[in-house]
């Protein structure tokens, strides 16, 4: 296969019409240039240039390959330009994986600001309901960065974003609602388990997490409905189907339902996952997410209607 250097020498001779001028343009010696041309002609098994008394001219074969030779050099220059831009964090394509409850409250605002600083970067987003499924996507090179609760196992780099509280969304009129209660006040898991629960579908990481909580506490949940989405679980609780245990990131700004902490407070750790050898773009966005920190339900929890 012809080398880029040989093609570069060939095109330079065509552009300058002279071996001497082409060698000067390429900052090489004429013998070295002639060696590259001879190598190219051997590779293609045909002469590409007529050596004239005054200069050179392309043969019919030379004219036939000129267009593709120039295209190859242009493509090689583009590869170099794009690769260096990606290495410098200027442009490229970034594939993100995010647990769906974290997309709106954490990823979106950080990504919006980050894109203003990296306008040439193309972003692709895939959402997951399971931290382990997300980690598997990264492990198989299906994404460049993951934002998720800490998975069961991960062999790459981990950046800790922070800890996020998992709270109760209570149905209207719930006896567990405490008028005026704020973050940190609320019922125990034993008290919660005495009421109908909005659970999660198998495959959602919260399902296994809540099951483990119940086993550790010697409890059994009374699951009346299951959903794959924490956002939907909160809305089902508001509709009166049961109590939902959801991360605060699932509630959204201005959530109108009745929210309470659990005693003791439940939390999950949020992390950024980066594969080994992650490029500068992924690392830069990961650091921005860490700086933003975990979502917090910092306002006073809404007082249930009719309470107090």
Model confidence at 90, pLDDT cuts 50, 70, 90, reads low
Helix (H, G, I), strand (E, B) or coil at 199: strand
Q: pLDDT, tens digit, for every residue of 52-65?
A: 888 899 999 999 99
pTM of the entire predicted model = 0.69
Question: Domain 165-268 is of which CATH architecture?
Answer: 3-Layer(aba) Sandwich (3.40)
Q: What is the CATH number of domain 92-161+270-292?
A: 3.40.190.10
Tell me what pLDDT residue 120 has: 87
Rounded to whole angstroms, how far apart are CA atoms 199 and 192?
A: 13
For residue 244, the surrounding DSSP H or E stretch is strand 243-247
Fold classified for 4-87: Arc Repressor Mutant, subunit A (1.10.10)
Domain with CATH 1.10.10.10 in the chain: 4-87
In this structure, what is the dihedral angle of CA atoms 213, 217, 220, 222, given to the nearest 10 degrees? -60
Q: pLDDT, tens digit, for every residue of 118-165?
A: 998 999 999 999 999 999 999 999 999 999 999 999 999 999 999 999
1: pLDDT strictly greater than 60 = yes
Helix (H, G, I), strand (E, B) or coil at 196: strand
Number of helices and strands in the chain (H, E): 11, 11
Domain with CATH 3.40.190.10 in the chain: 92-161+270-292, 165-268
Contact 242, 198 (CB under 8 A): yes
């Amino acid at each position: 296969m012809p080398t880029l250097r040989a093609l570069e020498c060939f095109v330079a001779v065509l552009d300058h019409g002279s071996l001497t001028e082409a060698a000067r343009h390429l900052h090489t010696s004429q013998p070295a240039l002639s060696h590259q041309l001879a190598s190219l002609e051997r590779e293609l098994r045909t002469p590409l240039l007529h050596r004239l008394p005054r200069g050179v001219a392309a043969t019919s074969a030379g004219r036939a390959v000129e267009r593709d030779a120039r295209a190859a050099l242009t493509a090689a220059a583009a590869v170099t330009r794009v690769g260096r831009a990606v290495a410098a964090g200027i442009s490229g394509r970034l594939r993100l994986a995010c647990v769906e409850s974290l997309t709106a409250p954490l990823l979106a605002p950080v990504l919006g600001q980050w894109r203003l600083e990296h306008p040439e970067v193309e972003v692709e987003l895939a959402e997951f309901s399971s931290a382990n499924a997300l980690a598997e996507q990264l492990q198989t090179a299906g994404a460049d960065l993951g934002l998720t609760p800490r998975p069961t196992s991960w062999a790459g780099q981990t950046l800790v974003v922070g800890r996020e509280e998992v709270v109760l969304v209570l149905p209207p009129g719930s006896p567990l609602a405490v008028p005026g209660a704020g973050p940190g006040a609320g019922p125990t898991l034993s008290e919660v388990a005495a009421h109908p629960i909005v659970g999660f579908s198998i495959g959602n990481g919260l399902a296994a997490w809540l099951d483990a909580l119940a086993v550790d506490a010697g409890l059994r949940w009374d699951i009346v409905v299951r959903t794959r989405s924490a956002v939907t679980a909160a809305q089902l609780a508001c509709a009166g189907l049961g109590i939902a245990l959801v991360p605060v990131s699932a509630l959204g700004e201005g959530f109108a339902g009745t929210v309470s902490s659990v005693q003791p407070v439940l939390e999950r750790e949020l992390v950024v996952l980066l594969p080994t050898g992650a490029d500068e773009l992924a690392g830069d966005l990961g650091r921005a997410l860490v700086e933003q920190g975990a979502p917090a339900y910092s306002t006073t929890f809404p007082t249930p209607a009719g309470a107090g």
